[in-house]
């Protein structure tokens, strides 16, 4: 009798949990289908047409069948019609005639890929990639590509946990360089050999040698200037992450903790000649590698709370601390300006 009661109780728990889960999943599926059906149609234009002029390439996060696809808008009409490319990326960057695409391939075993794409969005080259896509950049001359991913099993103090892996790969052949293993880090004139070093968020100069990136150790981060020739990374200032070099090469935009809580960042611009930094007018937390719209404005993605999976928009704000943020491209992420 007692066993019967127990079996009945177990049956009830089993049925309730299974039915609840299945009901939740069915409900979610229907909600997703409803959202796709009800989503306002995105104005679409011709890819060839847009690709002939100055443009912005980005990951489209508009709800619908093209969610996650790389799209292109005209630079002078960023919230106008977008043209979809065949590529689907989590993180994309592009220059004239070339793009780099990081994506996770969903499946029973999720794998991660990085590919260099040609002007027709066909795969030109596979890059090594072993973790969740985070940042990527091409050098202005197209000779180098940098990728940053989150990798399991890299963190020294807690094997199996996460840290970043940043690779710089020459596109004309040759092996990838690992910023952590292949470069020396120099902070305040002294080499820093600590085991918990982490490096991420590369931005290239146009001289085929120098780049900027983030170095971290302990609870500190630094803006570093790296050299591909000397294999050195020299810290320029503290508390600066994910640098992005301005088109004229005089300033670096970055995100900074600036005394904020864990996981909160403001964005700022560092003048390389004077060493002075200016906080920008955006007050919300930005976790993105900034892109320069032109020498006076920056672009960055912000997640949008509420409906749909990973809703996000691209915003713009003046690069000198003045003005106020403005919505630039709705339903977009990972912008790259191509002229």
Give how far Cα 195 sits from Cα of 19, 153, 157, Å. 49, 14, 9
Report d(CA 229, CA 233) in Å as an integer. 11
Of positions 4, 52, 76, 106, contacts other proteins by CB under 8 A: 106
Contact pick of 35, 75, 79, 162 for other proteins (by CB under 8 A): 162
Applying CB under 8 A, among 130, 192, 258, 278 the residue interacting with other proteins is: 130
Is 230 one of the binding residues for other proteins (CB under 8 A)?
no
Could you say which residues in the range 24-53 bind other proteins, by CB under 8 A? 24-25, 28-29, 32
Listed ranges 79-87, 107-115, 232-240, 268-276: which one lies at the site for other proteins (CB under 8 A):
107-115
| Chain centre to alpha carbon of residue 49 | 27
In terms of CB distance, is 95 or 197 closer to other proteins?
197
Tell me, letter by letter, the H, E, C secondary structure of 198-244: EEEEEEECCCCCEEEEEEEECCEEEEEEEECCCCEEEEEEECCEEEE
Task: Answer whether 139's CB lies under 8 Å from 204's CB.
Answer: yes
DSSP state of 193: -
Q: Does 260 bind other proteins (CB under 8 A)?
A: no
Tokens coding 294: 């032109």
In angstroms and rounded to an integer, the radius of gyration of the C-alpha atoms of the chain is 22
3 state SS of 321: coil
Q: Which two tokens stand for residue 178?
A: 């690992």
Q: Which of 153, 182, 283, 284 binds other proteins (CB under 8 A)?
A: 153
Query: Is 246 among the residues that bind other proteins (CB under 8 A)?
Result: no
Residue 86 touching other proteins (CB under 8 A): no
Q: Report, in Å, the least distance between residue 107 CB and other proteins.
A: 6
Identify the residue whose tokens are 């670096």: 252
- Residue 258 binds other proteins (CB under 8 A): no
In the complex, least distance from residue 182 CB atom to other proteins, rounded to whole angstroms: 11
Using rule CB under 8 A, residue 287 touches other proteins: yes
- Least distance (Å) between residue 187 CB and other proteins: 16
Binding mask 188-217 for other proteins (x = CB under 8 A): -----x-x--x-x---------------x-
User: Is 262 an interacting residue with respect to other proteins (CB under 8 A)?
Assistant: yes
Cβ-based nearer residue to other proteins, 139 or 256 = 256
Q: Is 123 in the site for other proteins (CB under 8 A)?
A: no
Residues that contact other proteins, how many (by CB under 8 A): 55
Write out the two tokens for 238: 């503290």
| CB half-sphere exposure, 130, CA atoms < 13 A | 11
Write out the two tokens for 39: 């989503």
- Residue 300 binds to other proteins (criterion: CB under 8 A): no
- Contact by Cβ (8 Å): 50, 72: yes
Q: Given the DSSP bridges, would you call strands 184-187 and 232-238 parallel, antiparallel or unpaired?
A: parallel
For residue 110, state whether it binds other proteins (rule: CB under 8 A).
yes
Q: Cα separation of 222 and 240, whole Å?
A: 5
Q: What minimum distance in Å lies between the beta carbon of 72 and other proteins? A: 22
3-state DSSP assignment of residue 183: coil
249 contact partners, CB below 8 Å, separation of at least 6: 205, 206, 272
Q: Are the beta carbons of 90 and 332 closer than 8 angstroms?
A: no
Which residue, among 236, 112, 111, 249, has the nearest Cα to 167 in the 3D structure? 112
Which CB, 205 or 217, lies closer to other proteins?
217
CB 261, min distance to other proteins, A: 8
In the list 70, 73, 102, 132, the residue contacting other proteins (rule: CB under 8 A) is: 132
Least distance in angstroms from the C-beta of 139 to other proteins: 23
The Cα 293–Cα 218 span in angstroms is 33
Name the site residues for other proteins (rule: CB under 8 A).
Answer: 6, 9-10, 13-14, 17-18, 20-21, 24-25, 28-29, 32, 90, 104, 106-111, 128-132, 134, 150-164, 193, 195, 198, 200, 216, 219, 262-263, 287, 303, 309-310
């Amino acid at each position: 009798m007692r066993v019967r009661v127990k079996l009945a109780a177990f049956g009830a728990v089993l049925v309730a949990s299974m039915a609840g889960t299945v009901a939740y999943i069915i409900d979610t599926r229907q909600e997703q289908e409803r959202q796709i059906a009800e989503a306002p149609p995105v104005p679409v234009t011709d890819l060839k047409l847009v690709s002939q002029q100055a443009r912005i390439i980005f990951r489209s996060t508009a709800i619908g069948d093209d969610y996650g696809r790389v799209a292109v808008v005209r630079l002078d009409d960023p919230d106008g019609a977008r043209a979809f490319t065949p590529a689907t990326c989590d993180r994309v960057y592009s220059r004239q005639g070339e793009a780099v695409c990081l994506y996770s391939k969903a499946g029973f075993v999720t794998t991660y890929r990085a590919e260099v794409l040609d002007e027709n969005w066909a795969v030109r080259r596979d890059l090594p990639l072993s973790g969740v896509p985070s940042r990527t950049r091409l050098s202005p001359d197209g000779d180098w590509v940098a990728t940053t991913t989150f990798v399991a099993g890299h963190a020294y103090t807690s094997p199996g946990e996460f840290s970043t892996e940043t690779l710089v790969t020459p596109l004309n052949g040759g092996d990838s360089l690992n910023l952590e293993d292949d470069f020396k880090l120099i902070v305040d004139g002294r080499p820093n050999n600590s085991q918990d070093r982490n490096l991420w968020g590369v931005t290239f100069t146009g001289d085929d040698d120098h780049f900027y990136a983030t170095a971290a150790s302990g609870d500190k981060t630094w803006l570093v200037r790296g050299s591909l020739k000397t294999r050195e990374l020299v810290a320029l200032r503290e508390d600066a992450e994910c640098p992005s070099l301005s088109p004229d090469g005089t300033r670096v935009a970055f995100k900074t903790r600036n005394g904020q809580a864990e996981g909160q960042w403001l964005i700022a611009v560092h003048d390389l000649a004077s060493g002075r930094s200016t906080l920008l007018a955006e007050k919300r937390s930005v976790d993105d590698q900034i892109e320069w719209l032109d020498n006076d404005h920056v672009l960055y993605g912000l997640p949008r709370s509420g409906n749909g999976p990973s809703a996000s928009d691209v915003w713009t704000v003046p690069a000198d601390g003045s003005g106020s943020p403005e919505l630039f491209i709705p339903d977009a992420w990972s912008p790259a300006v191509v002229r």
